Homo-oligomer: A and B are copies of this chain.
Amino acid sequence: MAVNMESSLGPLRLRHPVINASGTFDVLAADRVLAADLFTDFPFAAYVPKTVTLKPREGNPPHRLYETAAGLLNSIGLANKGIEAFIADDLPRLGRLPVPLIASIAAEETNGYGRCAGLLDGRDEVAALELNISCPNVELDGKALGCDPFLTASATAQARAATGKFLIVKLTPNVTDILVLARAAVEAGADCLSVINTVHGMALDPWTLRPALGHVTGGLSGPAIKPVALRAVYLISRELDVPVIGMGGVTSANDVLEFLAAGATAVAVGTACFRDPLLAVSLVQELEHQMELRDIATPGELVGRAH
């Protein structure tokens, strides 16, 4: 059976359903290191650069990484060059990618989302915006904005007012009821939800018995959190009508099938890119092969099959 891997995510046409997760694949850095010509053979169906903020941020002190069982704790702290340098230096180069570009933005105050969205609204290189309201390292009154339905709605509404582009809101799992947050974002104008960002966690160095991360706590990603992510995607996509980008612990083609069946329209690979920066190449091949074996004609056919 011929498999047609094309997918769509709102107005975005994707060659297949697999994209990268923000902060885990840097096409500009990888292109310097890897012999692959990433600008012609880009393995993902869309590219999401690392989150940028209004002002440059130098990020958290080291250590910023600590591996846990089947997981990775990070406290990068949204290190980035700031949206102006992003627009000036990176956007022109990213515009040459053969896939849609989804810019990820964050701010320390809700109105910063409106300003960032406004700065990108006029840029043709940008196909969609993702609001990172869930990074556990940027806190408002000691709490991530994405934990509060009010602030979530407010950030979303401000971005919505500033742009007509496809608007994705990325949710945090660190809440009592993620559906409440999902509804708040959609009611405030989100076109799509990214589910999930990292899970709050912490590690101690087993030798010193002191916190392993410079920032003490951090965000857990990787296969360890896949069950948390699948549940969130399942619950949200059963209740709400917007497309969901599923992510959290994807390392294989089977994982992609599971996220689609749980209700995701597209699936993002994050931490697994660190196992192999070109994982997406073999993963997408294997995905096509599995779909053939299982008689699945299109990714869309599978979306929500587990409901």
- Determine if A234 is an interface residue (Cβ-Cβ < 8 Å): yes
Scoring A residues 173 to 204 as 1 if CB is less than 8 Å from chain B, else 0, what string do you get?
01111000000000000000000000111111
Q: Complex Cα distance A306/B210, Å?
A: 5
Question: A262 and B204 in contact (CB under 8 A), knowing A73-B227, A176-B175, A220-B228?
Answer: yes
**Which residues in A have some Cβ–Cβ distance to B below 8 Å?**
68-71, 73, 143, 147, 174-177, 199-204, 206, 209-211, 216-217, 220, 222-228, 230-231, 234, 249, 254, 257-258, 261-262, 302, 305-306
What are 21 sample pairs from A and B whose C-beta atoms fall under 8 A apart? Answer: A69-B70, A69-B224, A70-B70, A147-B177, A175-B175, A199-B199, A199-B227, A200-B231, A201-B230, A202-B234, A202-B262, A203-B226, A203-B230, A203-B258, A206-B254, A206-B257, A209-B257, A209-B302, A209-B306, A211-B306, A217-B231
Q: Complex Cα distance A302/B204, Å?
A: 13
Q: Complex Cα distance A166/B243, Å?
A: 50
Q: Complex Cα distance A177/B223, Å?
A: 24
Residues of B within 8 A of A201 (CB): 227-228, 230-231
Question: A68 and B254 in contact (CB under 8 A), knowing A147-B176, A204-B306?
Answer: no
Given pairs A69-B224, A220-B228, 9 additional interface contacts (CB within 8 A) = A71-B224, A200-B228, A201-B230, A201-B231, A203-B226, A204-B261, A209-B258, A217-B231, A223-B224
